[in-house]
Amino acid sequence: MPINAGYEFFDAEKKYLEAESADDKIFYLEQMLKLSPKHKSSEKFNAELKTRLKKLKEKQEKSQKKSSGKKGIRKQGFQFVLIGFTNSGKSALLAKLTNAQPKISEYPFTTTHPEIGTFYHEGIKAQIIDQPSLNSENFDIGLANNSDCLIYVITSFEEIEKIQKQTPKAKGKKIIVVNKADKLNETQKRKVRATIKSKRIDGFLISTLSEENIPELKSKLFQETGLIRIYMKEPGKPASPTPMVLQPNSTVKHVAESILKGFSKNVTEVKVTGPSSKFPNQKVGLNHVVKDRDVIEFHTR
Ligand SMILES: Nc1nc2c(ncn2[C@@H]2O[C@H](COP(=O)(O)OP(=O)(O)OP(=O)(O)O)[C@@H](O)[C@H]2O)c(=O)[nH]1
Ligand SMILES: [Mg+2]
């Protein structure tokens, strides 16, 4: 363990040690590498981290090759599920938003089993699942019903009602993406955008090919997760650039305890600057509810 590493390093290390999936392990190991001090005495340590990362990535590649085609999905954190009719571009969208490499083709019913991808965005992550299309024998209604948010991938507005009719028990939120914008001319695009606005459809016109509105969709997905990014600050130093990620409605105590179990007992003063504070450096108690992008400074005994 390197000397002079900050809170964030230890937070990433803790999450790395607790991580169950290879994806998560790789994600936190990369964060550890970013956050570990770059001075002479930690060179050996950093080299070890890099070797570990390389091995993990190789192992993951091998297991991805072996496991593609197998069933069984464990819900991890916030889960989005892609839904739509064949050829609407679900798999192409999964490939755009995550590290997954699903089969994409112009033939109908290309996807024959659910495919998982991990969506990383500005320090947070969520699961995105690509499903075989509706009307395919492998379509899994359970996945649609249990997701936190369904992403309808459509190419015409009539599909919305059809999807709703086929998924009456889906409780999660719904986002609608009208795909293949690149096939439309400006007049057609304007019409689609006008319909989205007038029908108050929660979504966008996108294209996985030209990447139109893909960045906007990523921000929207991040907002839907409700996850909160907190930036730690040590007294007298600038805030850390890497956030700590917490569940919606977390308090200062949750932040303290996720740094180190029992840490909140040592806290003598907390200062918050950001969306949850009335003014910069507001002193708050452990029960203060934090908001996304807060900067928090702990004083300890
Ligand atoms: N022009 C255009 N083609 C697209 C776009 N997105 C996907 N496609 C094409 O549409 C076809 C179907 O894409 P897939 O991603 O396989 O569609 P899917 O919804 O996963 O289809 P199934 O697995 O059969 O349910 C492929 O030929 C893609 O290259 C897009 O934004 N623009
Ligand atoms: Mg597919």
pTM beyond cutoff 0.85 = no
Which has more confidence, 271 or 44? 271
Indicate if ligand 1 lies below 6 Å from the C-beta of 131. Answer: no
Q: What's 1-67's CATH class?
A: mainly alpha
Under the banding of pLDDT at 50, 70 and 90, the label for residue 240 is confident
Does residue 99 contact residue 23 with C-beta atoms inside 8 Å?
yes
Distance (angstroms) between ligand 2 centre and the Cα of 60 equals 22
- The answer, yes or no, to whether residue 288 has pLDDT greater than 80, is yes
Distance (angstroms) between ligand 1 centre and the Cα of 82 equals 13
Does residue 32 contact residue 16 with C-beta atoms inside 8 Å?
yes
The predicted-structure confidence for 163-188, as pLDDT tens digits, reads as follows: 999 999 998 899 999 999 999 999 99
**CA dist 202 → 151, 155, 160, 195 (Å):** 10, 15, 12, 11
Question: Closest ligand 1 atom to the C-alpha of 86?
Answer: 25
Residue whose CA is closest, atom 12 of ligand 1? 87
Does residue 277 contact residue 294 with C-beta atoms inside 8 Å?
yes
Residue whose CA is closest, atom 3 of ligand 1? 180
Has domain 227-301 been given CATH number 3.40.50.300? no
Residue 65 confidence (pLDDT)? 60
Nearest-CA neighbor of 226 among 249, 204, 203, 244? 249
Mutate to test the pocket of ligand 1, among 86, 105, 211 (most ligand atoms within 8 A of CB): 105
Nearest-CA neighbor of 231 among 244, 246, 247, 248? 244
Question: Closest ligand 1 atom to the C-alpha of 132?
Answer: 25
Q: What one-character DSSP code corresponds to residue 65?
A: H
Distance (angstroms) between ligand 1 centre and the Cα of 91 equals 7
Extended beta strands in 191-248, E state: 203-205, 228-233, 244-246
The pLDDT of 76-91, averaged and rounded, is 94
Q: Where are the domains of the chain?
A: 1-67, 79-225, 227-301
Residue 1 confidence (pLDDT)? 52
| 3-state SS class at 93 | helix
Residue whose CA is closest, atom 7 of ligand 1? 89
Instruction: State the helix-helix crossing angle for 90-97 and 214-225, rounded to 10 degrees.
Output: 80
Q: Provide the token pair at 214.
A: 């893909």
Nearest-CA neighbor of 149 among 64, 77, 245? 77
- Same topology, domains 1-67 and 227-301? Answer is no
The predicted-structure confidence for 110-125, as pLDDT tens digits, reads as follows: 999 999 999 999 888 8
Report phi then psi at 116, rounded to 5: -100, 140
Indicate if ligand 1 lies below 6 Å from the C-beta of 104. Answer: yes
79-225: CATH, from 3.40.50.720, 1.10.1060.10, 3.40.50.300, 3.30.465.10: 3.40.50.300
Residue 67 confidence (pLDDT)? 46
